[in-house]
Amino acid sequence: MKIAVCIKQVPDTEAKIRIRADGRSIEEAGVNFVVSPYDEYAVEEALRLKEKQGGEVVAFTVGDERAATALRTVLAMGADSAVHLKDAAFEGSDALGISRILAAALRKTPFDLILFGKQGVGTDQGQVGPRVAELLDLPHVSVVVSLTVDAGRLTAEREIEGALEIVESPLPAVVTAQKGLNEPRYASLKGILAAKKKEIRTFTLSDLGLEPSSVGAAGAREIWEKLEVPPSRGAGKILKDMEPAAAARELVRLLREEAKVL
Partner 1 sequence: MPKDVLVFVESRAGQVKQPSLQALSEGRRVADGLGAKLRALLIGSRVEPLASELAAQGPDSVLLAEHRLLEHYQAEAFAAVLAEAVQTTASEYAFLPATAMGRDLAPRAAARLDAGLASDCTHVEVSGGELRVKRPVYSGKAVATVRFSGSPSFATLRPNAFPVASAPRTPSIEKLAVDLQESRIRARTTGIKASEAGEIDVAEAAIVVSGGRAMKGPENFALIRSLAEALGGAMGASRAAVDAGWVGHQYQVGQTGKVVSPTLYIACGISGAIQHLAGMSTSKVIVAINKDAEAPIFKLADYGIVGDLYEILPKLTEEVRRMKGQ
Radius of gyration of the chain (CA): 22
Count other C-beta atoms under 10 Å from residue 27's C-beta.
13
| Site membership for partner 1, residue 211 (CB under 8 A) | no
| Site membership for partner 1, residue 256 (CB under 8 A) | yes
| Site membership for partner 1, residue 186 (CB under 8 A) | no
Report the sign of the C-alpha dihedral through residues 32, 35, 40, 44, in that order: negative
| Site membership for partner 1, residue 93 (CB under 8 A) | no
Size of the site for partner 1 (CB under 8 A): 85
* One residue of 158, 182, 195, 210 binding partner 1 per CB under 8 A: 158
* One residue of 55, 180, 184, 191 binding partner 1 per CB under 8 A: 180
Q: Are strands 140-150 and 33-35 parallel, antiparallel or unpaired?
A: unpaired
- Residue with Cβ nearer partner 1 (174 or 195): 174
Whose CA is closest to 95, among 109, 116, 81, 113?
116
Under a CB-based contact definition with an 8 Å cutoff, are residues 120 and 8 in contact?
A: yes
| Site membership for partner 1, residue 27 (CB under 8 A) | no
* One residue of 56, 159, 184, 207 binding partner 1 per CB under 8 A: 159
* One residue of 166, 188, 201, 211 binding partner 1 per CB under 8 A: 166
* CA distances, 256 to each of 157, 192, 237, 243 (Å): 40, 57, 14, 20
Of residues 101-140, those binding partner 1 (CB under 8 A):
121-131, 133-135, 138-140
* One residue of 22, 65, 150, 225 binding partner 1 per CB under 8 A: 225
